[in-house]
Amino acid sequence: MGKRSMLGRSVPGNSILHRLDARIKFLAAILIMVATLSIRDVRVMGLFILWTLVLMALSGIRVSIILRSVRPIVVIILFAVILHILTVDGHILFAIGPVRVSQEGLLAGLMTALRLSLMIINSSLFLTLTTTPLAVADALESLLSPLRFLRFPVHEFAMMMSIALRFVPTLMDEAVKIMKAQSSRGANYDTGGILKRAGGLVSILVPLFVSSFRRADDLAVAMDARCYQGEKGRTRLYTARLKFPDLAFLALVIFLLSFSLVSSRILPALTGVLGAAGG
Amino acid sequence: MWDTVIEFQAVSFAYGAMQGQRPVQAVRQVSFSIEKGAHVVLLGRNGSGKSTLARLMNGLLVPDEGQVLVDGKSTADDDSVYEIRRKCGMVFQNPDNQIIGTTVKDDIAFGPSNLGVPAGEILERIDRVLAMTGLEGLKDRAPHELSGGQKQKLAIASVLAMEPDCLILDEATAMLDPVARRDILELVQKLKRERGLTVVQITHHMEEALLADYVYVIGMGSIAFQGTPAQVFDQMDRVKAEGLSVPAHLEIARLVAAKTGRPYERDEIISFDGAVASVRRALKDLPQGTVRSCARAPAGQEVEMVLDVRDLSYSYDSPAGAPIAALHSVSLSVRRGEILGIAGHTGSGKSTLIQHFNGLIPAEQGKIILLGSDLSNRRVIREIRRQVGLLFQYPEDQLFEETVALDIAFAPKQQKKSPQQVEEAVLRAAKRLGIESILDRSPFELSGGQRRRVAIAGVLAAEPEIVILDEPAAGLDPAGRDDLFRDLLTLQSEGATLIVVSHDMELMTRFADRILVLKEGAVAGIGTPSEIVASEGFLEDAHLDMPAPKRFLDALREEYRDLDTSCFTITDAVDALLAAGGR
């Protein structure tokens, strides 16, 4: 009970985003990640914010749930912002003791915060919120399939990922239950030195491992009973042929990426070259 | 021969034979065959080899000697084994450990995907089996968002998606509450009727055996005896010798027949109504006796309260955001030396309630006074946990030490007792549960029932004044269940106060002094077993079962006005009937 982690939990729905091919979403997540991280221009940032807002609206998922995905990296974002404010010089806006806050520093910090947030929101919209873990695993399997020639066990890898995701909530509940059971026997996990606390962990980890092995055993038998025989002859439910919306979406993402790259890398370089030539 | 689905020919199987360990013989020289469309039940106590038999049926295990044929093909034949597994779908005991997909839909797709069924057809099958199992609307749910009963229905749906001829249920209802169990049984009956499925059910629930066409009683890895349910349960002594029990109505009818010297019809008393009719006839010629009461003096008549709960409320955050009320203004008090039963349907708040009793969950609203201390004072919690032993469901899952003795010693060691005191505490606790002989063994090599005892001893070693047990008998066979509750009664006689949580009303009415019924987080009623069962529709309203002996007596209440219907053991019920006598 209590709060549950959002890890590996998709929100069911039937939006355009939900219906896109998982492989396209996987690629889109990577491309948008590169794109957001290379944004330098404020106007481009505006464009990407608009893009993300549109995606959020299209997904039909409650905003509070989407924003929850940023929570795990709030500390990192804050750290980056503070670092920028402290290190970037420029017009001093105000000073608190020895700390001088410049306009440029504030802007740089804000841009970093936005870059990281947009990156996380985009990739969780694509990969965790609108796509079931099994579809992600299927997509990964399909995208990694060239690695087969290097004898990389692509299918097994994808299957392992999906089963791990399936059991995250189950094992978390179990860990809580075991911890409560040992607390009831007088175990104390809150006080004492590091060594004592680490010793206390044994009383949680051993039962947790034992039960995980038993679950693994049971699961293997259950998979056997349902005729699992590796990837041989197996139907892939989610990797159908790509449809027009999939390709159109990918084209849009590539356009956005190139826009961001051109504006942040190529244009400054060009102006630099031209400026040098002119001067 | 064409209508035989599964055939065992002199099958033997031992575990560990391959790994060079000392083999453990699980199945010896078993021969039988199952007809197409039949409903067969394999009965046997824990460790009798019945699950091994199930796994031999679809080639999950392959016989060491003899052979298993499914539709004439051997399970040892690699070419036909996947076809055999498709035909004989299997549902296992633990709902959590057989769901492979991350959503309901994905899990159903797993089997047909493995068979190479085209994607479009798989999507059609998903909708079809969801409708068949009544899971419509749950298609996109994650497994951990389902209840135990829903998970088992999903397991059945996932098997159905492979279009099997035969459904093997390996203790598929063992971890469910009575309501969910009945649900699953009804679903299986429906599927059998509508789709002509052959059903093989492995169980130690006697009521499930009554639904079968044919019953095999398994003991020590072989078929002890067999027959129709009527034939099998007619051999009451042999059934009990196998650690099993006989359905209550059948046993009452048999005992009344024996005491009155009237014959009974074997095939009549197999049904509840038949058993009632048989008893009615037997009692007719009997002289009217003196009225006999089943009432027993409840323990803990001293007025000292060890636990006093006032207006306790608790709510938790749901994934949807709005807080869900788990407990609503619960008040109760527990008397020293009594066994208080807490009964309620799944999700009624039982487990949340007892976690308040040793401070695992702090009271949000309301007051808890335990042995004179107010639990809102968090500094008393450590001392309280020493005085209150709490055992969760399946407590054997919390064992972690190398030996049984070390594991039992965990709690006394936390109390910083001297090594000698610890040793004494361990020995005392082990003796109480009859496990002194296995103190040096690893807890992980013991049977389920033994591990349960070790876990209970681990809590008793702290010598608590109050012991709280959540479903202590879950998963145990009838003999194991009775043994465990006898131990609990001994514990009570030595002065302990017990709080037992369960939805098994038969056990509760037999052993508890008072019962608290929870319904949707609120107290629906509290009283002696007789008081709790007295008002009609009360238990049904709380989604609980009427205990079988009481239900039997109620059926005769019209004719025998003086009959005391509040009897909770078979012998009490029989005595009450004989005393009420003829009309």
**pLDDT tens for residues B388-399?**
999 999 998 888
pLDDT at A139 over 90: no
pLDDT band at A6 (very low <50, low <70, confident <90, very high): very low
pLDDT band at A148 (very low <50, low <70, confident <90, very high): confident
- Residue B420: per-residue pLDDT: 93
Q: What residue has token string 């019945």?
A: B50
Query: How many beta-carbon pairs under 8 angstroms link A with B?
Result: 168
- Residue B513: per-residue pLDDT: 92
- Residue B356: per-residue pLDDT: 93
pLDDT band at A185 (very low <50, low <70, confident <90, very high): confident
- Residue B113: per-residue pLDDT: 93
Cβ distance B408 to B436 under 8 Å? no
Q: Most confidently modeled of A192-201, A267-276, B445-454?
A: B445-454
Using DSSP, state whether B497 is helix, strand or coil: strand
pLDDT band at B332 (very low <50, low <70, confident <90, very high): very high
Give the angle subtended at the CA of B236 by the CAs of B198 and B562, to the nearest 5°: 110
Q: Between the CA of residue A257 and those of A25, A261, A263, what are the distances in Å?
A: 14, 6, 10
Q: What's the token pair of residue A188?
A: 């104390």
> What confidence tens digit (pLDDT) does each residue in B264-307 have?
999 999 999 999 999 988 888 777 666 667 776 665 556 788 99
Cβ separation of B102 and A223 shorter than 8 Å? no
Chain B residue numbers touching A183 (CB-CB < 8 A):
360, 385
Query: Starting at the edge strand that comes first in sequence, how are the strands of the sheet with B65-70 ordered?
Result: B24-35, B4-15, B65-70, B73-74
Chain B residue numbers touching A236 (CB-CB < 8 A):
113, 119
- Residue B477: per-residue pLDDT: 85
- Name the residue of chain B whose CA is nearest to A209's CA: B400
Sign of the dihedral through C-alpha B281, B285, B286, B288: positive
Residue from A13, A256, A255 nearest A132 by CA:
A13
Chain A nearest-CA distance from B13, in A, is: 17
> What confidence tens digit (pLDDT) does each residue in B131-172 have?
999 999 898 888 888 988 999 999 999 999 999 999 999 999
Cβ separation of B355 and A180 shorter than 8 Å? yes
Pairing of strands B365-370, B373-374: antiparallel
Using DSSP, state whether A157 is helix, strand or coil: helix
Mean pLDDT of A35-43: 86
Using DSSP, state whether B162 is helix, strand or coil: coil
Residue from B116, B154, B117 nearest B134 by CA:
B154
- Residue B559: per-residue pLDDT: 82
Q: What residue has token string 């199930």?
A: B54
Cβ distance B236 to B257 under 8 Å? no
Chain A residue numbers touching B106 (CB-CB < 8 A):
132, 134, 237
Sign of the dihedral through C-alpha B69, B73, B74, B79: negative
Chain B residue numbers touching A206 (CB-CB < 8 A):
400
- Residue A4: per-residue pLDDT: 45
**Can you spell out the DSSP letters for A12-36?**
P--SHHHHS-HHHHHHHHHHHHHHH
pLDDT band at A278 (very low <50, low <70, confident <90, very high): low
| Fold category of B305-527 in CATH | Rossmann fold (3.40.50)
Can you tell me the distance from the alpha carbon of B539 to that of B545, in angstroms, rounded to the nearest whole number?
6
pLDDT band at B241 (very low <50, low <70, confident <90, very high): very high
Residue from B277, B339, B304 nearest B494 by CA:
B339
Cβ separation of A229 and B114 shorter than 8 Å? yes
- Name the residue of chain A whose CA is nearest to B164's CA: A226
- pTM, two decimals, is 0.82
Cβ separation of B392 and A210 shorter than 8 Å? no
pLDDT band at A9 (very low <50, low <70, confident <90, very high): low
pLDDT band at B322 (very low <50, low <70, confident <90, very high): low
Can you tell me the distance from the alpha carbon of B76 to that of B87, in angstroms, rounded to the nearest whole number?
15
**Can you spell out the DSSP letters for B303-363?**
--EEEEEEEEEEEEE-TTSSEEEEEEEEEEEEETT-EEEEEE-TTSSHHHHHHHTTTSS--
pLDDT at A3 over 60: no
Cβ distance B564 to B266 under 8 Å? no
**Can you spell out the DSSP letters for B171-240?**
STTTTS-HHHHHHHHHHHHHHHHHH--EEEEEES-HHHHTT-SEEEEEETTEEEEEE-HHHHHH-HHHHH
Mutation to test the A interface, candidates B58, B78, B88, B100, most A Cβ within 10 Å: B100
Mutation to test the B interface, candidates A185, A189, A214, A215, most B Cβ within 10 Å: A185
Chain B nearest-CA distance from A208, in A, is: 8
- Name the residue of chain A whose CA is nearest to B406's CA: A203
**Can you spell out the DSSP letters for B511-553?**
H-SEEEEEETTEEEEEE-HHHHHHSTTHHHHTT-PPPHHHHHH
Chain B residue numbers touching A210 (CB-CB < 8 A):
397, 400, 444
- Residue B17: per-residue pLDDT: 65
- What is the 3-state secondary structure of B4-54? EEEEEEEEEEEECCCCCCCCEEEEEEEEEEEECCCEEEEECCCCCCHHHHH
- Name the residue of chain B whose CA is nearest to A215's CA: B97
Q: What's the token pair of residue B515?
A: 């019962």
Cβ separation of B410 and A133 shorter than 8 Å? no
Cβ separation of A215 and B97 shorter than 8 Å? yes
Chain A nearest-CA distance from B87, in A, is: 10
Q: What's the token pair of residue B91?
A: 């549902």
Using DSSP, state whether B473 is helix, strand or coil: coil
Adjacent-strand bridge partners of B6 = B34, B70
Chain A nearest-CA distance from B258, in A, is: 46
pLDDT at A5 over 50: no
- Residue A2: per-residue pLDDT: 36
In percent, the amount of chain B with pLDDT more than 90 equals 59
Cβ separation of A225 and B444 shorter than 8 Å? no
pLDDT band at B18 (very low <50, low <70, confident <90, very high): low
Phi, psi of B31 (to 5 degrees): -130, 130
- Residue B429: per-residue pLDDT: 92
Can you tell me the distance from the alpha carbon of A70 to that of A9, in angstroms, rounded to the nearest whole number?
15
Cβ separation of A237 and B109 shorter than 8 Å? yes
Q: Mean pLDDT, chain A, as a whole number?
A: 83
pLDDT at B437 over 60: yes
Better-predicted residue by pLDDT, B478 or A193:
B478
> What confidence tens digit (pLDDT) does each residue in B551-561 have?
999 998 888 87
Nearest to B400 among A166, A203, A228 (CB): A203
- Residue B516: per-residue pLDDT: 96
Cβ separation of B102 and A162 shorter than 8 Å? yes
pLDDT band at A69 (very low <50, low <70, confident <90, very high): confident
Neighbours of B54 (CB within 10 A): 24
> What confidence tens digit (pLDDT) does each residue in B185-224 have?
999 999 999 999 999 999 988 889 999 999 999 999 999 9
Mean pLDDT of B462-470: 93
Q: What's the token pair of residue A104?
A: 């440029």
Residue from B301, B363, B358, B307 nearest B332 by CA:
B307
pLDDT band at B566 (very low <50, low <70, confident <90, very high): confident
Q: What is the CATH code for B4-241?
A: 3.40.50.300
Q: What's the token pair of residue B269?
A: 């008393």
Residue A81 C-beta-side C-alpha neighbours within 13 Å: 15
Range with the poorest average pLDDT among A114-123, A138-147, B357-366, B456-465 = A138-147
Chain A nearest-CA distance from B155, in A, is: 10
Nearest to A165 among B86, B102, B410 (CB): B102
In percent, the amount of chain A with pLDDT more than 70 equals 91
Q: Delimit the domains of chain B by residue range.
A: 4-241, 248-295+548-580, 305-527
Cβ separation of A166 and B389 shorter than 8 Å? no
Cβ separation of B119 and A236 shorter than 8 Å? yes
Mean pLDDT of B322-329: 80
Nearest to A222 among B97, B162, B326 (CB): B97
Q: Between the CA of residue B42 and those of B71, B153, B248, B295, what are the distances in Å?
A: 20, 21, 19, 37
Cβ separation of B316 and A2 shorter than 8 Å? yes
Residue from A8, A127, A150, A122 nearest A56 by CA:
A122
> What confidence tens digit (pLDDT) does each residue in B20-44 have?
667 888 999 999 999 999 999 999 9
Residue A150 C-beta-side C-alpha neighbours within 13 Å: 6
- Residue B455: per-residue pLDDT: 94
Q: Which residue blocks in B115-177 are alpha helix, DSSP H?
A: 119-133, 148-160
Mean pLDDT of B4-19: 86
- Residue B434: per-residue pLDDT: 86
Chain B residue numbers touching A10 (CB-CB < 8 A):
103
Those residues whose C-beta lies under 8 Å from the C-beta of residue A120, and which sit 6 or more positions away, are A69, A70, A73
Cβ distance A35 to A48 under 8 Å? yes
| B30 exposure class (CB count in 10 Å sphere: 0-12, 13-18, 19+) | buried
Q: What's the token pair of residue A68?
A: 């929850």
Q: Residue A110: what residue type?
A: L
Chain A residue numbers touching B78 (CB-CB < 8 A):
none
Cβ separation of A181 and B399 shorter than 8 Å? no
Could you say which DSSP state residue A10 is in?
P
- Residue B1: per-residue pLDDT: 43
Complex confidence, ipTM? 0.86
- Residue A259: per-residue pLDDT: 84
Chain A residue numbers touching B443 (CB-CB < 8 A):
none
Chain A residue numbers touching B466 (CB-CB < 8 A):
none
Q: Mean pLDDT, chain B, as a whole number?
A: 89
Chain B residue numbers touching A133 (CB-CB < 8 A):
102
CATH topology agreement for domains B4-241 and B305-527:
yes
- Residue B347: per-residue pLDDT: 83
